[in-house]
Amino acid sequence: MIKDKQFLDPNIIVKLGKVNLVARLVVEGFISGLHKSPFRGFNVEFAEHRQYLPGDEIRHIDWKVYGKSDKYYIKQFEEETNLKAYIFLDKSASMDFPRSGDSLSKLTYGSYLAASLAYLMLRQRDSVGLVTFDSEIKNFIPPRSQAGHLHQIHEVLTDLKGESDTDIAKVFHQLAERIKRRALIVIISDLFTSSDQAVVNALKHLRHLKHEIIVFHLLSKEELELDFKNVGRFIDLENGEKIVIAPKEIRGLYLEKIGSFLDYFKQNLLEANIDYQLLNTGLPLEYPLFSYLSRRMKRRK
C-alpha cells in the first residue's frame, strides 16, 4: 500500500533520535505513500487537486491555480474538522520493555506514535493535547491548534522514562472529571495494571461523557509470543519481583493467558463502542496512522 517504508519502520527511524524529526519524516512519508495509494478520500492536509471535468461544481475550482496555469483544477477533500483531541501515553515502568536487543521499547514506540499523531492532527487543523501518566498524571498539555504547540508536545515526549508502577483506572477517572468538553481521546498503553475490569470501567466512564475513544493496545513481539530460547530470570519492571522460568515449558499456557487478556479488552471495549487496536512494536508506523484515519473517516460518514 505505502512504499516509503524507510520513513515508517520504527527500527530505522529510531536511529534519527529526535522525536520532532522522526514525527515529521514518518508523517510526510506516510502522506506521500497515501497519496499514491487507492485511499484518496482521506483529508491529510488542505486539498488534493485534479483536473476539472464536465459536471463538477464551479465553486470547487481553485482560481489561484487557474491564474498560474490557465487550467481548471478542482479542490478535493477540503475540510476543517475543528476536532479537539487528547493523546494519553502510558509511561509506566512496564512500557520500558524491552530494554535491550533489536526491538524498540514500548515507550519509545509509543512516543514516536504520539508525536506522529500530534503532527498529523495539527496538519489537519485539529487541536491536540498530550497527557502522560503512570500511577499519576505526569504531564497535561491542553489541546491547541497552533503550529508552535507541537514543540511543547515533542519536548515532553523526548527522552521519556518508564519509572513507576501504574494505576490506569484511577488516572482515567481523574481525567474524565478534568476533561469537560467532548473530545477524541487516543490511548497508547500496554494496559498492564492490577485490574482489567477497573480499566474497562474507567474507559466506559470516559465514553459515558461522550468522548470518542481509540485504544492502541501496545505490546512487544516478545510479550505476544514469549519466543525466548533459554531458561532465564524474568523481572517485573513495576514491582521488581523476579522469577526463573523455562519459556519453552510454559509457552503454551502463557499464550493461552495472553490470548484471554487481549480478548477481554477487545470484546469489552468494542461492546462499549470504544475502538480497539492491538499494536505490535515491530509494526511500521503506517499501521496505527492508517488505523487512526480510517476510524476518523468512519465517524464522519
Residues 260, 263: Cα–Cα separation, whole Å: 5
Block mean pLDDT (10 aa), the chain, length 301: 47 62 71 52 47 63 74 55 86 88 84 91 87 96 88 90 91 96 95 95 97 95 78 56 67 90 97 95 85 72 52
What was the pLDDT predicted at 231? 55
User: Which of 121, 171, 184 has its CA nearest to residue 147?
Assistant: 121
What was the pLDDT predicted at 237? 52
What was the pLDDT predicted at 44? 44
Task: Name the CATH code of domain 84-300 (choices 3.20.190.10, 3.40.630.30, 3.40.1360.10, 3.40.50.410).
Answer: 3.40.50.410
For the whole model, what pTM was predicted?
0.77
- In the chain the beta strands, taken as DSSP E runs, fall at 48-51, 73-76, 84-90, 127-133, 137-144, 184-189, 212-219, 232-235, 242-245, 275-280
Query: C-alpha 13: how far from its chain's center?
Result: 16
What was the pLDDT predicted at 8? 53
What was the pLDDT predicted at 124? 77
Phi and psi at residue 191, to the nearest 5°: 60, 20
What was the pLDDT predicted at 291? 84
Burial of residue 23 (CB within 10 Å: 0-12, 13-18, 19+) is buried
Q: Where are the domains of the chain?
A: 47-78, 84-300
